Amino acid sequence: MKKAVFAGGCFWCIESDLIKLEGVIQVVSGYIGGTKASANYEAVCSGLTDHREAVLVTYDETLISYKELVEYFFTCIDPTNPYGQFADIGDQYKTAIYYSDEKEKETALKSKAELDQSGRFKDPVVTEILEISDFYQAEDYHQKYYEKNADHYKRYRIGSGREGFIQINWGDKR
């Protein structure tokens, strides 16, 4: 099994999107990239730790490649928003793809460049490609939130603007 980390705004939404893919074994919500030695929801939401909400994906590379994960991740976000994602604004909601080796870095950079040059968006793709750092698992009540609190999650996903954006911009790829 391989692992990959993605930051795409609200981790509930990224978790619920990526777990649907064949070959994805597990998706864990958490925090990455901060300057503090630990992370929790309250601290990260304060914006003072420099962590981002993210997901740790465990996948079977015989069923899905890292490249396919990266390309699908782009369909789950607005890769042109430098301030966060949809209703969630702040550094903790900025998008990023985290790599663990040079091959992953090259794959992510190439995918980003191809999307940027595709003409799909009028604004540039700003999703960062960053070296992986410590990942801190989020609190239990955040894990599988889309299942545990399905009604609230659906209202949030629609109300935040994420669902409409994805349908308009990525409907042909999902």
Q: Catalytic residue numbers?
A: 10
> What single-letter DSSP state applies at residue 2?
E
**What distance in Å separates the CA atoms of residue 42 and residue 62, rounded to the nearest whole number?**
38
CA 69, 98, 164, 25: dihedral to nearest 10 degrees? Answer: 40
CA 165, 54, 101, 57: dihedral to nearest 10 degrees? Answer: -90
**Token pair for 22:** 């064949």
User: By C-alpha distance, which of 160, 94, 171, 88 is closest to 125?
Assistant: 94
Beta bridge partners, 174, equal none
